Structure 1
Amino acid sequence: MDMFTSAIIEAGIVTLSALTDTDHATCLEHQPLENGYRKFVFFLKKRPDEEHLEVRINARISLLYDCNMSDYLRREGLESNLEKTTAGYYRLDRPLYASTKIGCPPPKHVETHKLKGQGYTLPYNSNTPIVIHAFAGFDPKEDVHVSYDIIEKGASNVIGL
């Protein structure tokens, strides 16, 4: 075996060793998910102007409405803070809202609302993914959707991806 072939084999062994030695539990995107939660993972592109950018998280919830739901939800919206956990991922809990227990005749319908609260603006960092564990709906028609926009620091205008 010549020296070139030996170097290629050694590089392959080192690469395989590095891949198999990685502890996937320490990667943010591989953190275990609690029952009743969905995982959203966003990988940001490397950009030369990252220090001037922020990420605005957009969370929307679709709720199954009937006569028990308050008009307050339509006027004021729903609130749930986006909080960073000690493991490094973000957690979005189900918003609290009041409803009555009156028996309602059909039809029920689905309405979508933007969630508001604190923690929805994050620093731009292409080195680590943004991982969000968000609550899942109780009913199959209820759902949460999480997306993001890139904005300039201190501004509200969205920058094209």
Structure 2
Amino acid sequence: MLEAAPGVREWEFTSTADGTFYAFVEEETPDGDEEILDALSRTGIMTVPPIEFAADRTATFTLIGTSGAIRPALEELPDEMGMDVIRVGEYDRRRELFDSGLTGRQREAVAAAVDAGYYDSPRRGSIDDVARTLDVAASTAAEHLRKAESRVMATVLDIDD
């Protein structure tokens, strides 16, 4: 497919132990993409690989820089290009190395539990505190946390759940 793809200059695949792979693809800049590349390759901004491309024509990637550099770059992106900022904060490469696979709701539950002190030692918060934050029953909050904890532990141990 890459041989037949117009504009593709070079490619290489690297397998991983879990059966997935990384792909390096170098291509000519498609018409119209210069505006995007110019906006995102300015001084003070760094794009951190990998850039993940999905079948629905979306791309997910990390930009590092100050708000004074990133904000104007995002404003220069073409109007027809949709954009969602998923997270803003201090960059921690370790976070990118560990994908917990949590759903959005599980992540909310874990964040509420951490904020409530549920995971502190000694424990300061209760499942009822988490439930109040999430505006759900205690049994629902407990189920979200159990599923999240199960997924994280399976990921740590590299077990398919």
Tell me the TM-score normalised to structure 2 length: 0.19
Q: Which has the higher contact order (CA 8 A, sep 6+)?
A: 1
Q: Could you say which structure has the larger radius of gyration?
A: 1
Tell me the TM-score normalised to structure 1 length: 0.19
Structure with more of its chain in helix, by fraction:
2
